[in-house]
Structure formats: structure tokens, C-alpha cells
Amino acid sequence: MTSKYNISSSSAYGNGGSLFGRVDKVALGLYVALVAVGMVCITAASFDEESASIFSFSHNYMKQLVWVGISWCVSLVLLLLDRRFFHMFAYPAYIVGICLLLSCLVFGKEVNGAKAWFEFGGMRIQPVEFVKIATALMMARVMSSYSFNINRFTDLVKAACVILLPLAIIVLQNDTGSGLVLCSFLFVMYREGITKYIYFPALFTVFLFIVSFIFTPETIFIFLLVAFTAYTAVKTGAFVAHIRFLAAVLLAALLLAVCTPLSGYAALMIVCGVVAVVLVVMALKMRAMMLLWPVLMFVYAMVFVPTCDFLFTKLEPHQQNRILTFVGMKSDPKGIDYNVNQSQIAIGSGGLFGKGFMQGTQIRYDYVPEKHTDFIFCTVGEEWGFMGALVVLAMYMALILRLMRMGERIGEPFGRVYCYCVAAILLFHVWVNIGMTIGLMPVMGIPLPLLSYGGSSLLAFTMLIMIAICLDASTSDESNIM
């Protein structure tokens, strides 16, 4: 509607050949392959030799097969839809999504401490899965609107609101893990040209967040002090002056700590605070922006790190534990660590080629908890080994890169933003999920896309990807950027 590309592509599927002539076969193929791998793994993970019939619907893999069927029917419908439909559909979808989240907050069922599920007669649906689609569409819609400029403040706020509104509700649902997925949209914003004055502080925040759990605040401040001083020293070339400055600050803090009843930490904070104020005033007077930036970032850290510590105490105990376990502050092999230990044992014991289909002992004998849902990757690692795991990783990487390429190829902002959103969501899920199974990330309850058992998750990811393929298919005949 707003885009010039829409006009000619509206002529249904006439000149571009049939529908299946124009869909991206690589993406579709990767999708089908991943679903197939998922079916194999779910079968291996949930097969129970004591059950009567292997085709009984009491088996998880038979249930999942039904969901695969449903997903593919939905895919067909989605592929037949026109791109403009999604464009129109974005607002209502987003509103419905927000409403669903809110009603879930009220009527939802609590599972594992998160009130994030609807239950319909034994079937559970997690609205968050579908909110991802709605948010992605909404992001695409907002960011593709006419004269949208990510670096204009009002536009940035608009985009941020699109993310933060559902995020806030999800955090209220106590499902922070799923909520963090939406943060992956920073990826999209970067692509859409967000300025480094935004993404660099954002990355800095993430950095501070992680180190604040590993090191004490004093250590972090001293490190930052040295790092920033070194940075300006290199930039200006005035090494001696910077060394004097550093020595002066540290000496002052030391003197203050020795001569007064203040603790070393408080002394450091006071000295740094005074010096920072002086430096900011000086920098503003001298219009020395190069000096201003590091000082401001340091002040930000001085505020952020204690706040972070404070907020951490406000987290639920199980979340605190997961984070502490992850950063290695707490070792508790039979407790929180148990999931991570057992999943690493399962994957690690797979070796190069794995133990073979249905031969994974750790999986079969229930040592891996959540083995067919969040920890489905353990089945890949144990039964198919490093080679199998590499193949699966390669498939995900290919799919993500393909989606990004499709986004570039579409050439108009709506499709591009949407494709990047999907790629970002997939990347985040894969990174966090596989990362947690091999001890790189804390345990967050988010599924592995297309592989994990679970109907709503499979359907949601199918829809995400199919919409991207559809958007790509309906524009591919006229835009050949790549």
C-alpha cells in the first residue's frame, strides 16, 4: 500500500509461474528436513517399548505427527495468501496477541512457575509463541511505514514500544526466558540502520549484566576505569597525563578508605563520582565529546551494576539459581545443575558418530530431563554424535542465512524487516537452547525451533517461516537484488 513494489506483484500468480515455482525451495527444504529430524529425535526420545502399538496415539511422536499435519495444512493456506494480507493483518494480529497475553495473565495455567499457558482439554497452548509472529509482523509494519527513520527519536520509541509492550506482559507472566526472545529484534534494528549510539550502549549493558554476576563491583569499576583511561590515552596520545590521572584517582580512593571509616567500595564510588562530575563539566565546557562518552558510560556502569545486583535479589529463587549456576558461582550437581550436567553427559557421551538411533542410553533411561522438549538436542548429540549435531547446526545456520538473504532479496522494508525478525528469533532460540544443553547458557525454558516436541511451538515456527517464504515468493519475480 505504501510501497511501490506492491503494485505489480498484486497480479496473483500469473506471470511468475505457479505458487510452488516461486517459493524459496532451499528454505522450504531446510524447513521440511528440520521437521523430519525433529520427528526422528522425538521418536527416539519418547519411545516406550512397553507400550502396546507403535502407532498408538499415546506416543508423543504420534501426537507430534498430527501437529506436523496441521502445520503443513496451515502452511499451504499461508502460502496461498497474498503479501498484502499480512501487511493488513499486522495490527489486528498484534492487538489480538497482546489481548491473549493479558488474558493469559488472568485465566492462564501455571506451568513450572510461569503463568503462560492456555489449556483446552488436555492440550496446552503457549500464546507467547504466536505473539512472536504478531510482534514480528508489527515490527515489519511499523518499520516499513513511510518515512520511518530508526534514528529519529519518535520512530525509535515506536519500534521500542512494539517490543517492550509484549515483553513487559511476558515478564509479568514470569516467563522471562520467552520474553528475552523479543530482545533479539535488536538484530533487526541494526540491519535497519540503528545508530551505534544505541546499539553500542545496549551491548555495553549486556556486557555489564553478565560481568556483574561474575565479578565484584569494585573489580568491574577498576577494570572500566583502567580500560576507559587507556582508551582516551590511546586516542589522545597523552599517556603520562592519563597514568597520573589514574594513579591520582586510585590513591585518593585508597586514602579515603584508610583515613575514614568508609569501606573500600564506598571510597571508590565517592572518588569516582566526584571525578566523573568534574570531568563531565569540563568536557561540556571544552566541548570534548571524546572525553564525554567514556565518562558517561562509566557513570552509567556505576548506576547499572549496583541496580543489577539489587534487581537480582528481586528475581525468583529458581531464576537466581539458574543464573548463578550458569556463571559457575554455585555448584550443585544434584540440584539446579542436574539438568545441565545430565544433558552435557548425554551429548558428550555421543562422541564422533553417536550411539545410533534409539541407542542413546542417557535418553532411553530417562537421565536427561525434558528430553523430548527443551532438551531434544541431547538426542541429536547422543545418538548421532558430533557429526549429526554439526549437520543440524549447519541446517539451522543455512536456514537463518537463507532468511536473511530472502529479506535482502525482497527489497521492500516490510518483507525485509519481517524476514530479519524471523532470522533473529531463530538465531536466538538456537543459540540459547543448544547453548544451554552444552553449558554455554543458563537454563531457560525455550524450545529448539522445529525439533522440540510441542504443538504450539511447531505451529508457531511453521507460520513464522511460511509467512517469510510467502512474502519472498510474492515479490521474487520483480526484485532480484541478490
> Which parts of this chain interact with other proteins (CB under 8 A)?
187, 190-191, 193, 342, 344-352, 361-362, 364-367, 381, 385-386, 389-390, 393-394, 396-397, 400-401, 404, 408, 420, 423, 427, 430-431, 434-435, 438-440
Radius of gyration for the chain, computed over Cα atoms and rounded to the nearest angstrom:
26
C-beta closer to other proteins: residue 4 or 334: 334
C-beta closer to other proteins: residue 322 or 364: 364
Q: Which three cell numbers stand for residue 430?
A: 538456537
Are residues 429 and 449 in contact, defined by beta-carbon separation less than 8 angstroms? Answer: yes
Minimum CB separation of residue 107 from other proteins in Å reads 32
C-beta closer to other proteins: residue 38 or 439: 439
As to burial, measured by CB atoms within 10 angstroms (0-12 exposed, 13-18 middle, 19+ buried), residue 160 is middle
Minimum CB separation of residue 345 from other proteins in Å reads 5
C-beta closer to other proteins: residue 170 or 436: 436
Minimum CB separation of residue 344 from other proteins in Å reads 6
Q: Residue 59: what residue type?
A: H
Helices (H) and strands (E) in the chain, counts: 20, 3
Minimum CB separation of residue 349 from other proteins in Å reads 3
C-beta closer to other proteins: residue 257 or 426: 426
CA 330 to chain CA centroid, nearest Å: 25
Minimum CB separation of residue 422 from other proteins in Å reads 13
Alpha helices in 237-263 (DSSP H): 239-259
Are residues 262 and 256 in contact, defined by beta-carbon separation less than 8 angstroms? Answer: yes
CA angle at residue 110 from 108 to 113, to 5 degrees?
Answer: 140
Number of Cβ atoms within 10 Å of the Cβ of 164: 14
Tell me which residue of 171, 181, 190, 266 sits closest to 221, measured CA to CA: 266
What contacts 145, CB < 8 A, 6 or more positions away? 2
Minimum CB separation of residue 346 from other proteins in Å reads 7
C-beta closer to other proteins: residue 96 or 395: 395
C-beta closer to other proteins: residue 273 or 369: 369
CA distances from 117 to 107, 125, 212 (A): 9, 6, 32
Minimum CB separation of residue 352 from other proteins in Å reads 6
Minimum CB separation of residue 385 from other proteins in Å reads 7
C-beta closer to other proteins: residue 22 or 371: 371
As a whole number of angstroms, the distance between CA 432 and CA 434 comes to: 6
Across 41-150, the runs of DSSP E, i.e. the strands, are 109-111, 114-120, 123-125
